[in-house]
Chains A and B, each alone.
Chain A
């Protein structure tokens, strides 16, 4: 039992969100690549990308940020300090994501703990998000760290 996290809250660790499936549209990939200012033809130009070993356009690594999971109960913990910061992400990439793919997204709370920092007690939430394609191949894992303080 911590200052902000109850034993009950801790039980949320490992519970998975309901799966949600998103269609990957070519135009969305291009808009994303343009928004981050990445001119790589792999992410922008189907003709050029066809000449590569990928055989066509693929998504930039962090494109899956657009493919949101269903809300987890840990996103609604009532007692957390109000101020929220994105602490960072760890990504693993296994398979490319392509236009026309149907990506199923499942999130789970991987860690929930309190730490003492410069700004007092901070709540650290690590959410693991898995992105799999229509062939049940795991394409990407993202582990995002959210900080409440």
Chain B
């Protein structure tokens, strides 16, 4: 984890430090076990092909977890991820790098909380945004210290 970011450090348009992922079939099996999601399209290639898929595909919830990491890295130990919204628009397959990215879209103080809103997305190695979403974090403030 890097050093703590404060509310005053970010402005609208600020780009979050990206999180790079290189998912493998092994990771899909580990995620199936750790999350209890044993839908076969994530580890059984024949089953996936029979379901008209290009092969095994990433769990939507795994991509959701990647974007969760983007946000908890951004919030740091002093911040708090308050809301996370993720839509699975496109499929992602193992063996291809993906990047989690985000940008600050708004900031405000509400009921004493220093709130930052972000657009977030997951981008495949062709530059396509397969998984868009949004997030709200509460950051610490230098003025409140």
Interface residues of A (CB under 8 A from B): 28, 31-32, 34-38, 40-42, 52-54, 60-62, 65-66, 68, 83, 85-93
A sample of 17 cross-chain residue pairs with beta-carbon separation below 8 angstroms, ordered by A number, consists of A28-B34, A31-B34, A35-B30, A35-B33, A38-B65, A38-B69, A41-B1, A53-B77, A61-B65, A61-B81, A61-B84, A62-B61, A65-B61, A66-B34, A87-B88, A93-B81, A93-B82
Quick check: A85 and B35 within 8 Å, CB to CB?
no
Could you say which of B35, B60, B81, B86 contacts A35, with CB atoms under 8 Å apart? B35
A34-B34, A89-B84 given; name 10 further pairs at CB < 8 Å.
Answer: A36-B65, A37-B66, A52-B77, A60-B68, A61-B81, A62-B68, A66-B35, A90-B85, A93-B80, A93-B83
Quick check: A35 and B31 within 8 Å, CB to CB?
yes
How long is the Cα–Cα vector from A40 to B71 in the complex, in angstroms? 12
Could you say which of A34, A60, A61, A90 contacts B30, with CB atoms under 8 Å apart? A34
How long is the Cα–Cα vector from A4 to B87 in the complex, in angstroms? 24
B1 cross-chain contacts in A, Cβ below 8 A:
40-41
Interface size on B, residues (CB 8 A): 35
Quick check: A35 and B36 within 8 Å, CB to CB?
no
B69 cross-chain contacts in A, Cβ below 8 A:
36-38, 40, 60
Quick check: B33 and A42 within 8 Å, CB to CB?
no
| Shortest CB distance A87–B (Å) | 6
Residue interface mask B73-109, A partner, CB < 8 A = 1: 1000110111111111000000000000000000000
Q: Which applies to chain A's interface (DSSP): helix, strand, loop or mixed?
A: mixed
How long is the Cα–Cα vector from A83 to B87 in the complex, in angstroms? 18
Is residue B11 contacting chain A, with contact meaning CB distance below 8 A? no
List CB contacts (< 8 Å) of B33-80 with chain A: 33-37, 51, 59-62, 64-66, 68-69, 71-73, 77-78, 80
Quick check: B36 and A68 within 8 Å, CB to CB?
yes
Q: Which residue of chain A lies nearest to B85 when distances are taken between CB atoms in the complex? A: A90
Q: Which residue of chain B lies nearest to A90 when distances are taken between CB atoms in the complex? A: B85
Q: Which 3 A-B pairs have the closest CB atoms?
A: A35-B34, A88-B87, A61-B68
Quick check: B65 and A62 within 8 Å, CB to CB?
yes
Could you say which of B72, B83, B88 contacts A60, with CB atoms under 8 Å apart? B72
